[in-house]
Each structure stands twice: as C-alpha cells, then as structure tokens.
Homo-oligomer: A and B are copies of this chain.
Amino acid sequence: MGKAYNVMAATCPSRTVLHRIGARWTVFVVNALEDGPRRFTELKAHIQGITPKVLTETLRTLEQDGLVTRTSYDEQPPRVDYELTGLGRSLLLPLRAVRQWAEEHVPDIEAARAAYGPEDASAGATVGP
C-alpha cells in the first residue's frame, strides 16, 4: 500500500492535523513540556505573553487530540499537571526542530528583509532569453 494521507489533497484529514499543529501557540506549549510535567501557572509564566484563556484553549485542544494529559491532584492549593503523551513526545521532535530553526535563523531572516526592496523593480530578477 502507498501513502494513505497526503496534505496536498484538498480534503485530506491530515490538513486538519497540520492546522492544529500550526496554531499560534501549539509550538510553544509542546516545547514548554519537553522536560516533563508542568503546572498551568508554570506554563503561563514560562510562555511569556500567553493569556490564561488562550493557554487553556490550547491545552484543551492538545488534550483532545491525545498529545497531552491533564492530571489534577486534590491538594491545597490545587495542583494540575500537564504532560506530553507518547504521541505528544513524537510531535516534540519536529516541533523542537522548528523552534530551534526559528531561534537560529533570526539574523538571516532579518538580513533578507533588509536586503529586499532595494532590488530594481523594473529590470528585476528577470532573465532574458
């Protein structure tokens, strides 16, 4: 049998999956869980700028998709742990690479942006025959 799923096909369910992975905060949350279980407040502090609403939403989605488990302990003050599942850890591998790429290539991208535009628009990069 060949490939079962192909993201290039308009109606392939893998597109939905890709959409989830690409959601604004998924990369952050998954990466933040790389070293083991973390509490809600820890995550919120670690992922600077995320609002509790969005963090909750993201975690719920990840939980639904089987990437994260939520465990709440009956202590005082309350404690809730989030942890990557096996599936979540398998996604961590690509997403950590993406994160690292972003961190490593900031200068390259900034340089490219700065260099863009100066290029002559009329002659352009046009190649004549």
* A-to-B contact residues, CB < 8 Å: 3-10, 13-15, 17-24, 27-28, 31-32, 46-49, 63-67, 69-75, 87, 90-91, 93-95, 97-106, 108-113, 115-116, 124-129
Contact = CB atoms under 8 A, between A and B. Distances in A.
Contacts of A74: 126-129
18 contacts: A5-B104, A7-B27, A7-B28, A7-B99, A7-B102, A8-B48, A10-B48, A13-B106, A18-B102, A20-B109, A65-B109, A65-B112, A66-B112, A66-B116, A74-B127, A75-B129, A87-B105, A94-B101
A123 to B, nearest CB: 11
Contacts of A73: 126-127, 129
A29 to B, nearest CB: 11
A16 to B, nearest CB: 8
Contact of A97 (B94, B102, B104): B94
Nearest to A62: B112
Contacts of A124: 72
User: Max chain B CB contacts within 10 Å: which of A19, A21, A72?
Assistant: A21
A48 to B, nearest CB: 4
